[in-house]
Structure 1
Amino acid sequence: MGHITKFVLGLMLVLAVACSRTPPGGRGGASAVYVGGTVPQLGDHKPHEWRNGHPYNHAVHGIDISRWQGDIDWGRVRGSGVSFAFIKATEGGDHSDPAFARYWREAAAARLPRGAYHYYYFCRSGADQARWFIRNVPRERGSLPPVLDIEWTNSRTCPQRPAPAEVKREASIFLDIVGRHYGQRPIVYTTVDFYRDNRLGDLRAEFWLRSVADHPRMTYPGQNWAFWQYTGTGAVPGIQGNVDLNAFAGSSSDWARWLSTRLTR
Protein backbone atom coordinates (compact mmCIF):
# COMPACT_ATOMS: atom_id res chain seq x y z
CA MET A 1 0.00 0.00 0.00
CA GLY A 2 1.47 3.39 -1.02
CA HIS A 3 2.09 6.28 1.41
CA ILE A 4 -0.63 8.43 -0.21
CA THR A 5 -3.19 5.65 0.01
CA LYS A 6 -2.34 5.05 3.68
CA PHE A 7 -2.64 8.79 4.38
CA VAL A 8 -6.07 9.03 2.70
CA LEU A 9 -7.39 5.97 4.54
CA GLY A 10 -6.07 7.32 7.83
CA LEU A 11 -7.71 10.71 7.23
CA MET A 12 -11.01 9.00 6.40
CA LEU A 13 -10.83 7.04 9.66
CA VAL A 14 -10.19 10.20 11.71
CA LEU A 15 -13.12 11.98 10.06
CA ALA A 16 -15.41 8.99 10.65
CA VAL A 17 -14.53 8.90 14.35
CA ALA A 18 -14.97 12.67 14.70
CA CYS A 19 -18.40 12.59 13.06
CA SER A 20 -19.70 9.71 15.17
CA ARG A 21 -18.31 10.60 18.59
CA THR A 22 -20.36 10.32 21.75
CA PRO A 23 -21.20 13.79 23.12
CA PRO A 24 -18.81 14.82 25.92
CA GLY A 25 -20.09 13.67 29.29
CA GLY A 26 -23.06 11.89 27.73
CA ARG A 27 -23.96 8.40 28.89
CA GLY A 28 -24.48 6.43 25.72
CA GLY A 29 -25.27 9.64 23.84
CA ALA A 30 -26.55 9.56 20.29
CA SER A 31 -23.83 9.19 17.68
CA ALA A 32 -23.59 9.21 13.88
CA VAL A 33 -23.97 12.56 12.16
CA TYR A 34 -23.44 14.92 15.09
CA VAL A 35 -21.49 17.84 13.62
CA GLY A 36 -21.07 20.34 16.43
CA GLY A 37 -23.03 22.70 18.61
CA THR A 38 -23.37 23.15 22.33
CA VAL A 39 -23.45 19.79 24.11
CA PRO A 40 -24.87 19.51 27.63
CA GLN A 41 -23.84 16.63 29.86
CA LEU A 42 -26.76 14.52 28.71
CA GLY A 43 -27.14 11.18 26.99
CA ASP A 44 -29.62 8.65 25.73
CA HIS A 45 -30.24 5.09 26.86
CA LYS A 46 -31.38 4.22 23.33
CA PRO A 47 -29.42 6.55 21.04
CA HIS A 48 -30.83 7.42 17.65
CA GLU A 49 -29.00 8.19 14.40
CA TRP A 50 -29.99 11.71 13.38
CA ARG A 51 -29.64 12.35 9.64
CA ASN A 52 -31.41 15.69 9.16
CA GLY A 53 -30.21 17.70 12.13
CA HIS A 54 -28.89 16.56 15.50
CA PRO A 55 -30.66 17.86 18.62
CA TYR A 56 -27.29 18.71 20.15
CA ASN A 57 -26.81 21.33 17.47
CA HIS A 58 -29.27 23.31 19.61
CA ALA A 59 -27.77 25.23 22.50
CA VAL A 60 -30.58 25.04 25.07
CA HIS A 61 -31.95 21.78 26.46
CA GLY A 62 -34.49 20.83 29.09
CA ILE A 63 -36.60 18.04 30.55
CA ASP A 64 -40.26 17.23 31.09
CA ILE A 65 -41.16 15.03 34.03
CA SER A 66 -43.94 13.44 36.07
CA ARG A 67 -44.18 11.34 39.22
CA TRP A 68 -42.46 8.42 37.48
CA GLN A 69 -39.07 10.15 37.71
CA GLY A 70 -39.09 9.61 41.49
CA ASP A 71 -36.61 11.50 43.65
CA ILE A 72 -34.59 14.06 41.71
CA ASP A 73 -31.29 15.70 42.58
CA TRP A 74 -32.12 19.09 41.11
CA GLY A 75 -28.65 20.51 41.72
CA ARG A 76 -27.10 17.82 39.56
CA VAL A 77 -29.82 18.27 36.94
CA ARG A 78 -29.16 22.00 36.68
CA GLY A 79 -25.39 21.44 36.67
CA SER A 80 -25.67 18.96 33.80
CA GLY A 81 -26.70 21.61 31.29
CA VAL A 82 -30.48 21.40 31.73
CA SER A 83 -31.95 24.90 31.27
CA PHE A 84 -35.66 24.31 31.93
CA ALA A 85 -38.18 21.78 33.24
CA PHE A 86 -41.83 21.24 32.43
CA ILE A 87 -43.61 19.38 35.24
CA LYS A 88 -46.85 17.42 34.92
CA ALA A 89 -49.52 19.02 37.09
CA THR A 90 -52.93 17.76 36.03
CA GLU A 91 -54.81 15.36 33.81
CA GLY A 92 -58.39 15.57 32.61
CA GLY A 93 -60.75 17.25 35.04
CA ASP A 94 -60.05 15.44 38.30
CA HIS A 95 -56.50 14.05 38.46
CA SER A 96 -53.37 15.77 39.72
CA ASP A 97 -49.83 14.44 39.70
CA PRO A 98 -48.85 13.61 43.31
CA ALA A 99 -45.26 14.74 42.76
CA PHE A 100 -46.12 18.11 41.21
CA ALA A 101 -46.04 20.32 44.32
CA ARG A 102 -42.73 18.82 45.48
CA TYR A 103 -41.05 19.09 42.08
CA TRP A 104 -42.38 22.65 41.71
CA ARG A 105 -40.72 23.70 44.99
CA GLU A 106 -37.49 21.78 44.42
CA ALA A 107 -36.92 23.08 40.89
CA ALA A 108 -37.44 26.65 42.11
CA ALA A 109 -34.99 26.10 44.97
CA ALA A 110 -32.41 24.96 42.39
CA ARG A 111 -33.10 28.18 40.41
CA LEU A 112 -34.18 26.19 37.36
CA PRO A 113 -36.90 27.79 35.21
CA ARG A 114 -39.97 25.54 35.40
CA GLY A 115 -43.49 25.41 34.12
CA ALA A 116 -46.51 23.14 34.52
CA TYR A 117 -48.32 21.04 31.93
CA HIS A 118 -51.81 19.60 31.65
CA TYR A 119 -52.56 16.27 29.95
CA TYR A 120 -55.81 16.71 28.02
CA TYR A 121 -58.68 14.20 28.08
CA PHE A 122 -61.44 14.29 25.47
CA CYS A 123 -64.19 13.23 27.87
CA ARG A 124 -64.18 16.62 29.67
CA SER A 125 -64.69 20.08 28.22
CA GLY A 126 -61.82 22.49 27.67
CA ALA A 127 -63.37 24.84 30.24
CA ASP A 128 -63.59 22.11 32.91
CA GLN A 129 -59.97 21.14 32.37
CA ALA A 130 -58.80 24.74 32.42
CA ARG A 131 -60.48 25.30 35.79
CA TRP A 132 -58.91 22.13 37.17
CA PHE A 133 -55.44 23.23 36.02
CA ILE A 134 -55.88 26.68 37.57
CA ARG A 135 -57.01 25.09 40.83
CA ASN A 136 -53.80 23.07 41.08
CA VAL A 137 -51.07 25.29 39.61
CA PRO A 138 -50.05 28.52 41.37
CA ARG A 139 -49.80 31.74 39.41
CA GLU A 140 -46.22 32.42 40.37
CA ARG A 141 -44.00 35.20 39.11
CA GLY A 142 -41.07 33.91 37.04
CA SER A 143 -42.69 30.62 36.00
CA LEU A 144 -42.58 29.35 32.43
CA PRO A 145 -45.84 29.54 30.47
CA PRO A 146 -48.35 26.76 31.12
CA VAL A 147 -48.52 23.90 28.63
CA LEU A 148 -51.44 22.05 27.08
CA ASP A 149 -50.36 18.49 26.24
CA ILE A 150 -52.90 17.34 23.64
CA GLU A 151 -52.50 13.99 21.90
CA TRP A 152 -54.52 10.84 21.32
CA THR A 153 -54.95 8.93 24.58
CA ASN A 154 -55.12 5.19 25.11
CA SER A 155 -57.49 5.43 28.06
CA ARG A 156 -60.17 2.74 28.41
CA THR A 157 -62.35 5.19 30.37
CA CYS A 158 -61.98 8.01 27.82
CA PRO A 159 -61.62 6.54 24.31
CA GLN A 160 -63.27 9.45 22.46
CA ARG A 161 -61.65 10.84 19.31
CA PRO A 162 -63.56 14.01 18.43
CA ALA A 163 -63.56 15.60 14.98
CA PRO A 164 -60.80 18.16 14.26
CA ALA A 165 -63.16 21.13 14.55
CA GLU A 166 -64.26 20.07 18.02
CA VAL A 167 -60.70 19.32 19.11
CA LYS A 168 -59.52 22.77 18.13
CA ARG A 169 -62.60 24.52 19.53
CA GLU A 170 -62.23 22.95 22.98
CA ALA A 171 -58.46 23.34 22.98
CA SER A 172 -58.85 27.03 22.16
CA ILE A 173 -61.26 27.44 25.09
CA PHE A 174 -58.64 25.90 27.39
CA LEU A 175 -55.92 28.15 25.95
CA ASP A 176 -58.05 31.28 26.35
CA ILE A 177 -59.09 30.61 29.97
CA VAL A 178 -55.65 29.52 31.16
CA GLY A 179 -53.94 32.29 29.21
CA ARG A 180 -56.07 34.98 30.85
CA HIS A 181 -55.39 33.61 34.32
CA TYR A 182 -51.60 33.35 34.03
CA GLY A 183 -51.06 36.27 31.69
CA GLN A 184 -49.29 34.01 29.19
CA ARG A 185 -50.97 31.99 26.45
CA PRO A 186 -50.09 28.31 26.94
CA ILE A 187 -47.65 26.41 24.77
CA VAL A 188 -49.20 23.45 22.92
CA TYR A 189 -47.39 20.13 23.06
CA THR A 190 -48.44 17.53 20.51
CA THR A 191 -47.40 14.46 18.53
CA VAL A 192 -47.00 13.81 14.81
CA ASP A 193 -50.17 11.74 14.34
CA PHE A 194 -52.37 14.06 16.39
CA TYR A 195 -51.03 17.14 14.60
CA ARG A 196 -51.77 15.62 11.21
CA ASP A 197 -55.15 14.11 12.11
CA ASN A 198 -56.44 17.43 13.45
CA ARG A 199 -54.60 19.86 11.17
CA LEU A 200 -53.28 21.78 14.16
CA GLY A 201 -51.20 24.15 12.09
CA ASP A 202 -54.02 26.71 12.14
CA LEU A 203 -54.34 26.65 15.94
CA ARG A 204 -53.22 29.96 17.46
CA ALA A 205 -50.40 28.73 19.65
CA GLU A 206 -46.69 28.39 20.22
CA PHE A 207 -45.79 24.75 19.61
CA TRP A 208 -43.75 22.12 21.42
CA LEU A 209 -43.41 19.19 19.01
CA ARG A 210 -42.56 15.56 19.66
CA SER A 211 -40.30 14.08 16.99
CA VAL A 212 -38.08 11.21 18.12
CA ALA A 213 -37.16 9.82 14.70
CA ASP A 214 -36.32 12.92 12.67
CA HIS A 215 -35.95 16.69 12.90
CA PRO A 216 -39.25 18.62 13.25
CA ARG A 217 -38.69 20.34 9.93
CA MET A 218 -39.10 16.90 8.34
CA THR A 219 -42.01 15.59 10.41
CA TYR A 220 -43.89 18.92 10.69
CA PRO A 221 -42.94 20.65 7.42
CA GLY A 222 -43.48 24.40 7.50
CA GLN A 223 -44.50 24.50 11.17
CA ASN A 224 -42.76 26.96 13.50
CA TRP A 225 -41.93 25.61 16.95
CA ALA A 226 -40.35 26.72 20.21
CA PHE A 227 -39.53 23.32 21.73
CA TRP A 228 -38.65 19.92 20.32
CA GLN A 229 -39.03 16.73 22.36
CA TYR A 230 -36.39 14.55 20.74
CA THR A 231 -36.26 11.48 23.00
CA GLY A 232 -38.18 9.68 25.69
CA THR A 233 -35.16 7.64 26.80
CA GLY A 234 -32.83 10.42 27.85
CA ALA A 235 -30.16 10.08 30.52
CA VAL A 236 -29.71 13.04 32.91
CA PRO A 237 -27.41 13.21 35.95
CA GLY A 238 -29.59 13.44 39.06
CA ILE A 239 -32.50 11.45 37.58
CA GLN A 240 -32.79 7.66 37.65
CA GLY A 241 -33.99 5.89 34.53
CA ASN A 242 -35.39 7.39 31.34
CA VAL A 243 -36.46 11.01 31.02
CA ASP A 244 -37.85 13.09 28.15
CA LEU A 245 -35.32 15.51 26.66
CA ASN A 246 -36.17 18.66 24.74
CA ALA A 247 -34.38 21.35 22.77
CA PHE A 248 -35.27 25.03 22.45
CA ALA A 249 -35.43 26.29 18.88
CA GLY A 250 -33.00 29.19 19.19
CA SER A 251 -29.60 30.19 20.51
CA SER A 252 -28.70 30.99 24.11
CA SER A 253 -29.35 34.67 23.35
CA ASP A 254 -32.72 33.76 21.83
CA TRP A 255 -33.52 31.80 24.98
CA ALA A 256 -32.78 34.81 27.18
CA ARG A 257 -35.01 36.99 24.99
CA TRP A 258 -37.76 34.37 25.03
CA LEU A 259 -37.67 34.22 28.81
CA SER A 260 -37.87 38.00 29.04
CA THR A 261 -41.22 37.97 27.24
CA ARG A 262 -42.77 34.63 28.20
CA LEU A 263 -42.30 34.31 31.96
CA THR A 264 -45.34 34.78 34.20
CA ARG A 265 -45.41 38.22 35.78
Structure 2
Amino acid sequence: MSVKKAISLGVGIGVLFIIVLIIYGVTHTFNQTKREDHLVKGVDLSAYQGDIDWELLADQNIDFAFIKATEGDDYVDTKFKTNWEASQKTALKVGAYHFLNYDTTGKAQAQNFIANVPVSDQNLPPVVDLELYGIYEDNALPKEQVKVILDEFLKELEDHYGVKPIIYTTQRIFKMYIGTDYKDYQIWIVDLDNAWPETLPNGETFTFWQYSHRGMMDGYDGDETFIDMNLYNGTYAEFIEEFF
Protein backbone atom coordinates (compact mmCIF):
# COMPACT_ATOMS: atom_id res chain seq x y z
CA MET A 1 0.00 0.00 0.00
CA SER A 2 1.36 3.44 -0.93
CA VAL A 3 1.82 6.19 1.64
CA LYS A 4 -0.92 8.30 -0.04
CA LYS A 5 -3.39 5.41 0.09
CA ALA A 6 -2.50 4.69 3.70
CA ILE A 7 -3.04 8.36 4.62
CA SER A 8 -6.35 8.47 2.74
CA LEU A 9 -7.50 5.28 4.42
CA GLY A 10 -6.51 6.63 7.82
CA VAL A 11 -8.35 9.88 7.22
CA GLY A 12 -11.42 7.95 6.03
CA ILE A 13 -11.42 5.74 9.12
CA GLY A 14 -10.99 8.81 11.32
CA VAL A 15 -13.93 10.58 9.71
CA LEU A 16 -16.06 7.45 10.01
CA PHE A 17 -15.11 7.16 13.68
CA ILE A 18 -16.13 10.78 14.29
CA ILE A 19 -19.47 10.20 12.55
CA VAL A 20 -20.10 7.13 14.69
CA LEU A 21 -19.32 9.16 17.84
CA ILE A 22 -21.70 11.92 16.76
CA ILE A 23 -24.49 9.44 16.04
CA TYR A 24 -23.88 7.72 19.38
CA GLY A 25 -23.90 11.05 21.20
CA VAL A 26 -27.15 12.19 19.62
CA THR A 27 -28.79 8.81 20.23
CA HIS A 28 -27.55 8.66 23.80
CA THR A 29 -28.77 12.19 24.47
CA PHE A 30 -32.17 11.39 22.97
CA ASN A 31 -32.53 8.22 25.04
CA GLN A 32 -31.42 10.04 28.18
CA THR A 33 -33.97 12.79 27.55
CA LYS A 34 -36.71 10.32 26.79
CA ARG A 35 -35.92 8.35 29.94
CA GLU A 36 -35.99 11.43 32.14
CA ASP A 37 -38.70 13.56 30.54
CA HIS A 38 -41.22 11.34 28.79
CA LEU A 39 -44.80 10.95 29.99
CA VAL A 40 -44.85 8.28 32.67
CA LYS A 41 -47.51 5.76 31.74
CA GLY A 42 -48.78 2.74 33.67
CA VAL A 43 -51.56 0.20 34.13
CA ASP A 44 -53.57 -1.25 36.97
CA LEU A 45 -54.90 -4.78 36.85
CA SER A 46 -56.34 -7.74 38.73
CA ALA A 47 -57.37 -11.36 38.21
CA TYR A 48 -59.81 -10.13 35.56
CA GLN A 49 -56.85 -9.80 33.17
CA GLY A 50 -56.06 -13.50 33.66
CA ASP A 51 -52.55 -14.85 33.16
CA ILE A 52 -50.08 -12.10 32.38
CA ASP A 53 -46.86 -12.19 30.38
CA TRP A 54 -45.09 -9.55 32.43
CA GLU A 55 -42.06 -9.26 30.16
CA LEU A 56 -44.32 -8.60 27.18
CA LEU A 57 -46.49 -6.17 29.14
CA ALA A 58 -43.47 -4.26 30.41
CA ASP A 59 -42.11 -3.90 26.87
CA GLN A 60 -45.02 -1.75 25.68
CA ASN A 61 -44.02 1.77 26.66
CA ILE A 62 -45.21 1.63 30.27
CA ASP A 63 -43.27 2.46 33.42
CA PHE A 64 -45.40 1.28 36.33
CA ALA A 65 -48.18 -1.10 37.34
CA PHE A 66 -50.53 -1.31 40.31
CA ILE A 67 -51.77 -4.82 41.11
CA LYS A 68 -54.90 -5.67 43.08
CA ALA A 69 -53.93 -7.46 46.27
CA THR A 70 -56.90 -7.58 48.63
CA GLU A 71 -60.46 -6.53 49.34
CA GLY A 72 -62.26 -6.30 52.66
CA ASP A 73 -60.91 -8.30 55.58
CA ASP A 74 -60.56 -11.70 53.93
CA TYR A 75 -60.45 -11.58 50.13
CA VAL A 76 -57.12 -11.98 48.31
CA ASP A 77 -57.00 -11.54 44.53
CA THR A 78 -56.44 -15.00 43.07
CA LYS A 79 -53.64 -13.78 40.79
CA PHE A 80 -51.93 -11.42 43.21
CA LYS A 81 -49.07 -13.66 44.40
CA THR A 82 -48.22 -14.76 40.85
CA ASN A 83 -48.49 -11.22 39.48
CA TRP A 84 -46.45 -9.73 42.28
CA GLU A 85 -43.59 -12.19 41.98
CA ALA A 86 -43.45 -12.01 38.17
CA SER A 87 -43.68 -8.22 38.08
CA GLN A 88 -40.65 -7.91 40.36
CA LYS A 89 -38.50 -9.45 37.62
CA THR A 90 -39.25 -6.62 35.18
CA ALA A 91 -38.06 -3.01 34.99
CA LEU A 92 -41.52 -1.77 35.94
CA LYS A 93 -42.11 0.10 39.18
CA VAL A 94 -44.85 -1.84 40.94
CA GLY A 95 -47.38 -1.23 43.70
CA ALA A 96 -50.31 -3.09 45.27
CA TYR A 97 -53.82 -1.86 46.01
CA HIS A 98 -56.67 -2.72 48.37
CA PHE A 99 -60.37 -2.26 47.60
CA LEU A 100 -61.91 -0.72 50.73
CA ASN A 101 -65.01 -2.43 52.09
CA TYR A 102 -67.55 -0.56 54.24
CA ASP A 103 -68.78 -3.63 56.13
CA THR A 104 -65.67 -4.32 58.21
CA THR A 105 -63.18 -2.25 60.21
CA GLY A 106 -60.24 -0.50 58.66
CA LYS A 107 -57.89 -2.36 60.99
CA ALA A 108 -59.14 -5.79 59.92
CA GLN A 109 -58.79 -4.83 56.28
CA ALA A 110 -55.29 -3.48 56.85
CA GLN A 111 -54.29 -6.77 58.45
CA ASN A 112 -55.50 -8.61 55.35
CA PHE A 113 -53.37 -6.37 53.11
CA ILE A 114 -50.33 -6.54 55.37
CA ALA A 115 -50.49 -10.35 55.48
CA ASN A 116 -50.24 -10.53 51.71
CA VAL A 117 -48.09 -7.61 50.51
CA PRO A 118 -44.37 -7.60 51.41
CA VAL A 119 -42.61 -4.53 52.76
CA SER A 120 -40.12 -3.18 50.20
CA ASP A 121 -38.56 0.20 49.47
CA GLN A 122 -38.18 -0.92 45.84
CA ASN A 123 -41.92 -0.69 45.19
CA LEU A 124 -44.53 2.05 45.00
CA PRO A 125 -46.53 2.91 48.13
CA PRO A 126 -49.65 0.87 48.88
CA VAL A 127 -52.94 2.16 47.51
CA VAL A 128 -56.44 2.24 48.99
CA ASP A 129 -59.20 2.09 46.36
CA LEU A 130 -62.10 4.23 47.61
CA GLU A 131 -65.28 3.69 45.59
CA LEU A 132 -69.00 3.12 45.92
CA TYR A 133 -70.16 -0.41 45.17
CA GLY A 134 -73.22 -2.63 45.46
CA ILE A 135 -75.90 -1.26 47.77
CA TYR A 136 -73.72 1.79 48.52
CA GLU A 137 -74.00 3.12 44.97
CA ASP A 138 -77.53 4.32 45.71
CA ASN A 139 -77.20 4.49 49.49
CA ALA A 140 -73.85 6.08 50.19
CA LEU A 141 -72.68 6.06 53.79
CA PRO A 142 -72.20 9.38 55.60
CA LYS A 143 -68.71 10.85 55.38
CA GLU A 144 -68.17 10.45 59.12
CA GLN A 145 -68.78 6.72 58.92
CA VAL A 146 -66.45 6.19 55.97
CA LYS A 147 -63.78 8.37 57.59
CA VAL A 148 -63.54 6.06 60.61
CA ILE A 149 -62.86 3.05 58.38
CA LEU A 150 -60.52 4.89 56.03
CA ASP A 151 -58.49 6.58 58.77
CA GLU A 152 -57.94 3.31 60.61
CA PHE A 153 -56.86 1.57 57.41
CA LEU A 154 -54.45 4.35 56.45
CA LYS A 155 -52.86 4.48 59.90
CA GLU A 156 -52.25 0.73 60.06
CA LEU A 157 -50.60 0.70 56.64
CA GLU A 158 -48.50 3.78 57.33
CA ASP A 159 -47.25 2.29 60.58
CA HIS A 160 -46.38 -1.00 58.88
CA TYR A 161 -44.87 0.18 55.57
CA GLY A 162 -43.37 3.45 56.76
CA VAL A 163 -44.99 5.50 53.97
CA LYS A 164 -48.33 7.18 53.50
CA PRO A 165 -50.63 5.16 51.24
CA ILE A 166 -51.97 6.65 48.02
CA ILE A 167 -55.74 7.25 47.83
CA TYR A 168 -57.41 6.20 44.58
CA THR A 169 -60.86 7.63 43.94
CA THR A 170 -63.21 9.29 41.46
CA GLN A 171 -64.03 12.99 41.23
CA ARG A 172 -67.47 12.29 42.73
CA ILE A 173 -66.18 10.26 45.68
CA PHE A 174 -63.41 12.78 46.24
CA LYS A 175 -66.02 15.49 46.77
CA MET A 176 -68.07 13.21 49.04
CA TYR A 177 -65.38 11.74 51.29
CA ILE A 178 -62.05 13.54 50.80
CA GLY A 179 -62.82 17.22 50.34
CA THR A 180 -60.28 19.34 52.18
CA ASP A 181 -59.11 16.42 54.34
CA TYR A 182 -56.15 14.14 53.59
CA LYS A 183 -53.97 16.87 52.10
CA ASP A 184 -50.89 14.95 53.24
CA TYR A 185 -51.83 12.02 51.02
CA GLN A 186 -51.11 11.60 47.33
CA ILE A 187 -54.24 11.24 45.23
CA TRP A 188 -54.74 8.94 42.26
CA ILE A 189 -57.76 10.46 40.56
CA VAL A 190 -60.14 8.80 38.09
CA ASP A 191 -61.24 11.28 35.44
CA LEU A 192 -62.37 9.85 32.10
CA ASP A 193 -63.93 13.07 30.79
CA ASN A 194 -61.17 15.67 30.83
CA ALA A 195 -58.08 16.00 28.66
CA TRP A 196 -55.91 16.65 31.73
CA PRO A 197 -57.37 17.43 35.17
CA GLU A 198 -55.07 20.24 36.30
CA THR A 199 -56.25 20.18 39.92
CA LEU A 200 -58.50 18.23 42.26
CA PRO A 201 -61.86 19.57 43.48
CA ASN A 202 -60.10 20.99 46.56
CA GLY A 203 -57.53 22.83 44.45
CA GLU A 204 -54.68 20.42 45.24
CA THR A 205 -52.59 18.64 42.61
CA PHE A 206 -53.09 14.95 41.83
CA THR A 207 -50.21 12.44 41.63
CA PHE A 208 -51.67 9.80 39.32
CA TRP A 209 -54.48 10.10 36.79
CA GLN A 210 -56.53 7.17 35.52
CA TYR A 211 -57.60 8.42 32.11
CA SER A 212 -59.06 5.28 30.51
CA HIS A 213 -60.81 2.04 31.44
CA ARG A 214 -60.55 0.77 27.88
CA GLY A 215 -56.87 0.40 27.15
CA MET A 216 -55.81 -2.60 25.09
CA MET A 217 -52.37 -4.18 25.28
CA ASP A 218 -50.69 -7.49 24.55
CA GLY A 219 -49.71 -9.89 27.29
CA TYR A 220 -52.89 -10.95 29.12
CA ASP A 221 -55.64 -13.46 28.38
CA GLY A 222 -58.40 -12.92 30.94
CA ASP A 223 -62.14 -12.45 30.52
CA GLU A 224 -61.56 -8.69 30.65
CA THR A 225 -60.54 -7.40 27.21
CA PHE A 226 -59.53 -3.97 28.46
CA ILE A 227 -56.95 -2.70 30.92
CA ASP A 228 -56.96 0.56 32.92
CA MET A 229 -54.46 3.19 31.77
CA ASN A 230 -52.81 5.81 33.96
CA LEU A 231 -50.33 8.67 33.89
CA TYR A 232 -48.05 10.10 36.54
CA ASN A 233 -48.26 13.88 36.91
CA GLY A 234 -44.63 14.64 36.10
CA THR A 235 -41.51 13.44 34.30
CA TYR A 236 -39.78 10.12 34.83
CA ALA A 237 -36.99 11.85 36.73
CA GLU A 238 -39.56 13.37 39.09
CA PHE A 239 -41.33 10.03 39.40
CA ILE A 240 -38.13 8.31 40.51
CA GLU A 241 -37.16 11.14 42.84
CA GLU A 242 -40.59 11.17 44.48
CA PHE A 243 -40.87 7.46 45.15
CA PHE A 244 -37.38 5.97 45.09
> Does 2:229 correspond to 1:248?
no
Q: Name which of 94, 101, 104 aligns with 1:114.
A: 94
User: Residue 229 of structure 1: SS of its match in structure 2?
Assistant: strand
Deviations 1:187-246 (A, max 9, x none): 000012211122433124110000011132377361311100000000123235200000
- Measured at CA, do residues 141 and 205 of structure 1 come closer, stay the same or move farther in structure 2, by a change above 3 Å? closer
What is the identity, as a one-letter code, of the residue corresponding to 1:231? Answer: S
Identify the residue that residue 29 of structure 2 maps to in structure 1.
none
Aligned to 1:153: 133
| 1:155 to 1:112, Cα distance in 2 relative to 1, 3 A | farther
- Change in Cα spacing, 1:160 to 1:99, as seen in structure 2 (3 Å) is farther
Deviation at 1:256? 1.8
- The answer as to 2:111 corresponding to 1:131 is yes
Q: Are residue 62 (structure 1) and residue 46 (structure 2) matched?
A: no
Query: Is 1:185 the equivalent of 2:175?
Result: no
- How many residue pairs match? The answer is 206
1:124 Cα deviation after fit: 0.7
1:71 aligns with 2:55: no
How does 1:1-265 map onto structure 2 within 5 Å? 59-154=39-134, 161-203=140-182, 204-214=184-194, 215-217=196-198, 220=201, 222-240=203-221, 241-260=225-244
TM (normalized to structure 1)?
0.71
Give RMSD over aligned pairs: 2.4
Specify the code of the residue in structure 2 equivalent to 1:177: E
Aligned-partner residue type, residue 150 of structure 2: A
SS of the aligned residue for 2:112 comes to helix
Tell me if the contact between 1:149 and 1:188 (Cα under 8 Å) persists in the aligned partners. yes
Deviation at 1:90, TM superposition (A): 0.4
* Partner residue, 2:6: none
Task: Show the counterpart of 1:35.
Answer: none
Q: Distance in 2 between matches of 1:162 and 1:108?
A: 37
Q: Is the 8 A contact 2:40 2:235 kept in 1?
A: yes
Q: TM-score, normalised by structure 2?
A: 0.77
- Residue segments in structure 2 that go unaligned for 5+ positions in a row: 1-32
C-alpha displacement of 1:159: 8.2
Higher Cα Rg, which structure: 2
Q: Would you say the 8 A contact 2:114–2:157 is kept in 1?
A: yes
CA displacement, residues 69-99 of structure 1 (integer Å, 9 cap, x when unaligned): 0121211211111101100000011111000
SS of equivalent to 1:202 = coil
In structure 1, the gaps of 5 or more residues are: 1-37, 40-56, 261-265
